[in-house]
A = this chain, B = another copy of it.
Amino acid sequence: MPQLAPSFPLPIGLDPGSPTPLYRQLAEWFRQAILAGRLHPGQRVPSTRRLADELKVSRIPVLGAYEQLLAEGYLESFIGAGTCVARAIPGESLRRVAGKSRKAAPAAHRRGARRTSRRSAAMPVLEQPWLKNLGAFRIGLPAVDRFPMGIWAQLVNRHVRRQALEVMGYGGPLGYLPLRAAIADYLSAMRAVKCDAEQIMVTTGSQQGLQLSAQVLLDAGDEAWVEEPGYLGARQALLAVGAKPVSVPVDTEGLRVADGIRRGRDAHAVYITPSHQFPLGMTMSAARRMSLLNWATESGAWIIEDDYDSEYRFGGRPVASLQGMDPDERVIYVGTFSKVMFPALRVGYVVIPKDLVPSFAVARDAGDTFSSSLHQLVMADFIGEGHFARHTRRMRTLYMERRTALVEAIAAELPGQLEVVGGETGMHLVALLPPGVDDIAVTRAAAARGVSVRPLSQCYIRAPKRGGLILGFGGAASRDIPEAIRRLKTCI
């Protein structure tokens, strides 16, 4: 059976100049020889002494390699009988596997045999050229250069040097309690959310809040209302659990609840942005809110309220949350600090109806266990010491300036061409394009000129009558805005 007689020297080439130690080079040679079928199950290998002689090396690397191969089960040895390739290794099937080259292109695989989940295959991969640059009008990007990084760095230092288990060890799936309490206080005072600390889960951002809500609330095939136009990330979170998004149009009062009931009476959930509709920016009226809450209570549906940037309201005062109006605890309230602080922080939150808290905790534990403790401790101090309120106030003024600069630049450079919608709240506005202009083509051309805008049409499931551009102004300095709009003009 042995094809290489044990007396025949093995064709091993060692490279003493390599950074890989000799013992590892040797072990790798044996592994590959066994995998490729050049050494067979049961075949004797040379003694360590003989192999060392043949290779002109000391016995130490040879002993190391054999020890390793014995531990891994490639070799076995018997007292008095020497060492051989493990007989338990499957001979022929082995060669079959090893016969296929690793170099084969993925295209050579039978695709049917490399099946991914239906859910995964159903998730669209959209062209997103605007993510490739960091110039003006990236959506959701705050003025990171105005963030009080000095204060933040001090707080990070305070905690990072303590070397405490609290900072370094495992945290719970719901998060750090003092931060949860600070978030509950903030949301009660500023957003009229009705909650206590026990209902708060600290997440890595609003997307995780959406994902966990879909995970806990929806099975494959369950319908969920989404706004038309609406937020892509929410649709993706629903598709990720196999739920079916049902698009419900919005008008100046927000989601048209009656249309939703007509299109998806049996829906299990609604995803909604009532304070500041994404992307069009209107506020949902009290009447619609009540109709929605009534329908949810009657039908047993859940409402996922995404309150993504209502800290920044320029006209009028902040609108109270839908969650605070709900007597039936059907609203899961999702928020984030990505836009008030900075995106890379990865700290957001969900306010969970009390009876769902254990289900969310289990889902989080199975998902990614817990949020980075360091950022939670720092965030708690940042809020507790008043930096958060101060920074938010300053940014409100700044973003109002930037919004004005943007609206003025559009009026000056593109009079009559772009129609501005929204923008009384938050960090972006929509500029509707003249009928017939393809917003995806404009976006692509703008990205090539270093201007990051997002096409409105991608927020629709059914193609809209009129395209538009979504322009984020949070991260765009007022002085740079006119030039960016001039560049955008050349793309339309």
Q: Which positions in A face B, CB cutoff 8 Å?
A: 20, 23-24, 28, 31, 34-35, 64, 67-68, 71-74, 86, 88-90, 93-94, 96-98, 100-102, 106, 109-110, 112-121, 123, 125, 131, 134, 138, 140-141, 144-145, 147, 149-150, 152-153, 156-157, 160-161, 163, 165, 167-172, 189, 192, 194, 203-205, 207-208, 211, 215-220, 222, 233, 236-237, 239-242, 253, 268, 283-291, 293-294, 297, 300, 315-317, 319-320, 325, 327-329, 342-346, 353-356, 358-359, 362-363, 365-375, 475
Contact = CB atoms under 8 A, between A and B. Distances in A.
23 contacts: A23-B317, A31-B286, A31-B325, A72-B320, A73-B283, A73-B285, A73-B288, A86-B285, A88-B287, A89-B286, A89-B287, A90-B287, A102-B194, A117-B222, A117-B241, A120-B215, A125-B358, A147-B163, A205-B369, A207-B366, A236-B365, A237-B367, A367-B367
A288 to B, nearest CB: 8
A150 B204 CA distance: 26
Given A115-B300, A217-B116, A368 B204 contact: yes
Contacts of A109: 328-329, 355
A401 to B, nearest CB: 20
Given A147-B168, A366-B211, A345 B327 contact: no
Number of copies: 2
B134 A207 contact: no
A64 B317 CA distance: 8
Nearest to A192: B28
Most interface-central of A73, A239, A344 (chain B CB within 10 A): A344
Contact of A290 (B90, B288, B294): B90
A210 to B, nearest CB: 8
Contacts of A157: 153, 156-157
A328 B100 contact: yes
B163 A123 contact: no
Given A73-B287, A285-B86, A328-B100, A217 B366 contact: no
A370 B125 CA distance: 16
Contact of A300 (B100, B114, B286, B346): B114
B362 A112 contact: no
A362 B123 contact: yes
A239 B215 CA distance: 11
B90 A291 contact: yes
Q: Which of A147, A236, A315 has the most CB of B within 10 A?
A: A236
Q: What 4 pairs between A and B have smallest CB-CB spacing?
A: A73-B285, A113-B300, A88-B287, A106-B355
A368 B106 contact: no
A6 to B, nearest CB: 20
Contacts of A219: 117-119, 220, 242
Nearest to A87: B287
Contacts of A152: 160
A170 B366 contact: no
A106 B199 CA distance: 13
A34 B286 contact: yes
Contacts of A192: 28
A161 B151 CA distance: 10
B316 A68 contact: yes
A100 to B, nearest CB: 5
Given A119-B219, A207-B367, A215-B240, A316 B285 contact: no
Contact of A169 (B217, B300, B344, B354): B344
Given A34-B286, A368-B368, A372-B375, 10 more contacts: A23-B317, A102-B329, A106-B354, A121-B359, A123-B363, A169-B475, A171-B344, A204-B372, A207-B367, A208-B367
Contact of A117 (B161, B218, B320): B218
A346 B327 contact: no
A329 B97 CA distance: 11
Contacts of A222: 117
B240 A366 contact: yes
Given A253-B73, A283-B72, A285-B72, A240 B367 contact: yes
A256 to B, nearest CB: 12
Interface centre among A23, A110, A220, A327 (most CB of B within 10 A): A327
Given A106-B354, A343-B170, A368-B208, A93 B268 contact: no
Given A134-B169, A287-B73, A319-B72, A149 B160 contact: yes
B163 A316 contact: no
Contacts of A237: 366-367
Contacts of A475: 169
A98 B327 contact: yes
